[in-house]
Structure 1
Amino acid sequence: MEFTRRYLPMEWEERWRREKERRKRVIEEGGEGIEQDNRELRRIMAYNDSRMGLTSGRENKEGSEVRMSGASQDRTGEHMSDEAFGDEGHNIHTCCSKSYPKEVFAALKEFRDSSLLTDLTLTLENGNSFHVHSLILAAVSGFILERLKEKNVGVDRWSVHLGTRVDHVGLRAVVEFAYTGVVLSLNKDIMAQIKAAAQVLVVPRLVELCSKKERTKEGDSAKKEERTISIPEQMKITLQSIEQLWADRVGCDVTLNVDGTFFHVHRVILAASSDYFRGMFTCGMKESRQTCVELPFLLAPEFEALLGCSYSGIVRLGWESVFEITCTALQLQFQPALSICLNFMQQQIQADSCLDVASFAEAYGMSDLLEEANDFVLRNFREVSATAKFQDLPAEKLLDFICCDGLYVPSELAVFRAVISWIEADPEERLPQAGLLMTGVRFPLMTFREFREVRAINLRMECFGDKEVELYGSALKEFGFSLPKSQDYCRVRRPKDVVVLVGGDQLNPDMGRRIPSRELWFANSLRSGTGLVKEIEWRRLGEIPDKPKFRHGVAVMEGMLYVVGGCYFYAKDDMMKSAYRYDPVKDSWKRLADMHELRSNFSVVVLEERLYAIGGDKEINANIDSVETYNPDTDSWSCIMLF
């Protein structure tokens, strides 16, 4: 019986009743009848797959078809097991916070300025003294390190008298360098005092810093090109020294008992990285006076990961451990480690982990992470619906997803298939909820071929065992009568990451009619209509604050859009070397330093927070083989030699 969307035949209910009776007889008889029905359904599904550009996934579906034939069928081959995902779920990633050295030393300097947890007093001949943390000084000073190793165990506070060998100016510079990685007042008037203190206290990096400064002052041009270690690198080196002292158990002043595992640590490092331990060790609690503190409510593996992060800013994470480590980081208020864990969840999210991330974020009230996870599900719904975790979704959560306008699927048939796979995971319990879930499937967006698959599968579901369920009637009425209106009935996807069209020229064989553009446009939404009909809604973003351009380079780095070089017309003198950066949050442009070379028709790539402009033309069809790199920290371009 054929029908069109102009009317629904009045006798369809009677025809459907007879079809269901025939299907039940086939189930009772078994044999060739069932196999013939299955072959027909596989043929329909294969056609729909080809239309949607799908080439795999049929094996599990065929197993599902057989299961729906009757209640006596077993549940073999229902879904991929955990093992079927291979080793992907067990991959371990080394995750780090590049800003951690700066953050931890800022906290340590705050402690020093407030005399919190300081244990070493450095005194001079004139009576001046500095209260510092012995661990921090020992990380840069070989002299203090040797004294720390010799210090009597159990002595909390101790002192070192430096006598006449070091003056106030020099010692202050050493302390400043230990806590900040820099000496702010390194000028020629006090250079000798600082260098003398650095030599006495055996601070080789500060001695070298003074020596380089002296050579520069002397005008030694050959030495001006010497590489000076940057402030972030200095702090990173000091932190690595502190980590080594921890590994060697030098200066550890407290032992933590975590579930029978003992960790020898430094109070000041824990307090600098954890608000929980800051309160414990600095607010007069009894633990601040104990040499051994018990933490019976923790597990050793998770705590060890956080402890390592306190000394390095690095956490080794995998999906098997990230949720437990994050919970412990929340409990102990390890903010740096918590940020690393949350970044891991956002950056490494996958089809088989996104639902766990969403559940975790919802349980702990992390709205931003929950939004990211739910958005990932909507963007990758077909892949997510093929995972084992999808089968554990509560019915109401599944309905929320499929009712969302932002659901992105190649066809509405993918939504229907996802609902069916969820029901088939436990048909005895879930068939009564099938009717409600089907209200989230937008049947009018399907083609007639796709709806034939709906009809065939609904027939199997309504004939499953002794369950009384009505699905096809409501679907047929919606498909036949709810005609999709071009703008009113669709799936609308508004992605967070969008395609941006920057400048360019209109293609035309007549060169005189080609018009270079300054405009930026972005893909605001993708509308999924009937069948495979898709429409992209483009919106104007703004204009480049430069001449119209084409054949330019475009790249995105740390959320900023970079537009570099290009041509503004078609003559050989129309090449450009200008560079601009667009901030989408502030909706503002910034003029950057020009490239050294005029370039058009070239590549721009991002590597390790640097832009690379590669090759291109310096004149029309005149290639160049040079490469330049842009450093956003210094707003400068540097040429790279090619061999």
Structure 2
Amino acid sequence: MDSYSVLYSSSHRTGLLSGFQRLRSERRMCDVVLEAGGVSFPCHRALLASSSEYFWALFGETTAERLAASISLPALKAQGLDAILDFLYSGWLSISPSTISAVLEAARYLQVETAVAICERFMIDSLSGENCCCYANLAERHALSNALEAANQTIAMEMGALLQARKNDLLDLNVQSLMAVLDADEIPGVKEVRLIELALDWLDDNGPLPLLKSNLLLSRLRFGLVCAPDLTKLDHRAMSTPLIRSQLTRAAEYHRMGSAQPIRQNRQSTLRASPNRVLLVGGGSGAHWPEQQLLAFDPGSKKFSSLSSCVPLRLRNHCVCSVGGFLFVIGGEEVKEGDAEGKKSVTTSTSNQVWRYDPRFDRWERVESMLERRAQFSCCVAEEVIFAIGGRHTRPDADTHTSVASVEFYDMTTGAWRKGATMPRPLYGHASAELDNGIYVSGGLPGNRGTIHGSNHGDNHDENRESSREVLYWDLKSRVWEKRASMSIARFSHRLATAHGYIYALLGMYEPFCDIERYDSRSDHWTRLRPLLIGSFNYGMVTTPCGNLLVFGGRRWSDGQEVIVRSVLEYDTKKDHWREICQLPRPLTGTECTLLPLPD
């Protein structure tokens, strides 16, 4: 048998379509005329049947239309049919915002699925605040799931502008889209009470809805984000159902929970905001005069913004953490400016105060103070409990310091601080992190030599005392302190961070502060990692949801002098790689950081 080859010509297919298009334009060999909107379109049956499931069925062997000279399509507009026929004859689909509805209608009706997919892609790519509501309705009507999801997301992100300039578009929105938007976890710049007003106005314009659908719509609102006085003003017939009344009652109860609010969070009291914003609390452009600023950092856009609220006190060597969407600012050294005998003076005193910030209502509240005054201590959150560990305080009657070995934790159910298991010895300048249902404490300066149980002994600060390499572990179940493998470097005023099941020890004040190491709790072993080329200390740090570490500002040595820096560094824990991602608005040292959802 002779061998043979099969060769393909890509130009033949193009030429075939071009030939049909030429015949159509010259109205030659056309054997059927399609009519829509009073306009006639001469066509070729064979091409239509081979390109569309609708025409394949229409021109079947048993249909009356198979031999008809003219076929009327009253459901279609001439503009839409013309575009689809051009597509079938040429492969090119002409779409614009003004024609997309007619073109999509024709593509769906004639079952030209390739054209439907092109229309959906066009809608997704051209979404904006001006057309998102219209496209959402179009996508819902034609069951375009991807375009519908994209349009709903755009509506949520553009809601503030839509409420201000295009509210009628929102009132014309289909109910499925409105429910999806009210389900969104992020609706920037819009207070919940305005979303409630929108939902009620929509019901007035589109109702009455069946009770089940009305409840489904209103149950997506977050009544816990409305302040208690405004809750009592909500009055609408659609809100009188048992389901919605019960949600209003739970919201009112939430506002009365006081200290327990952070651990009683639910969807209805959770802010519609990105959970990945970094809040920078305190610090300043000078080491000895902290500011009361609050800076927010968006890791996505790499941009900073200032909050209108300020920390109630000027603090340094304090701690911050977040629980249930609330910010806690704990202890530290309060710095005050005085005026003694006509001369300006600055006084410093160690604080045991605890302040709670609620970003939902931009409100600060002083909660129960710690049992002891603490600065240069560490705090961490484990199982929704805040632990304050070690530290030291300045005696008010003398320029001496008392180091503490005590541990206390904040019971949010009762709003009180309670004593925990005391560390083996007083410690300050240490760091702590939560992992494996326990708390790790590393480094720092010991308050005295030897082991002390159950008591705190005063000591004067000795700058020459050596930092510790020791690592302690406190099991939250057994509540006892145990030793773990020591770090390879003694560290003071450093940071611990948990990421991907490991603990990272970063930088510090006295040791070679470029060096970094990682702890594996399974093997109880520390591994040295790639050091930073130029180290820093007194910086702020936070672990991002993806496991990378962000380092904000701090101080470093340059030509024998301390320099306060503006750099924001990112450490990729998987790649063991550092890079600078942006700059702070101004030099900053002594700031404390935490992740906190914040309204725009």
TM over 0.5: no
TM-score range, shorter chain: 0.3 to 0.5
Higher relative contact order (CA 8 A, sep 6+): 1
Structure with higher strand content: 2
Larger relative helix fraction? 1
Q: TM-score, normalised by structure 1?
A: 0.34
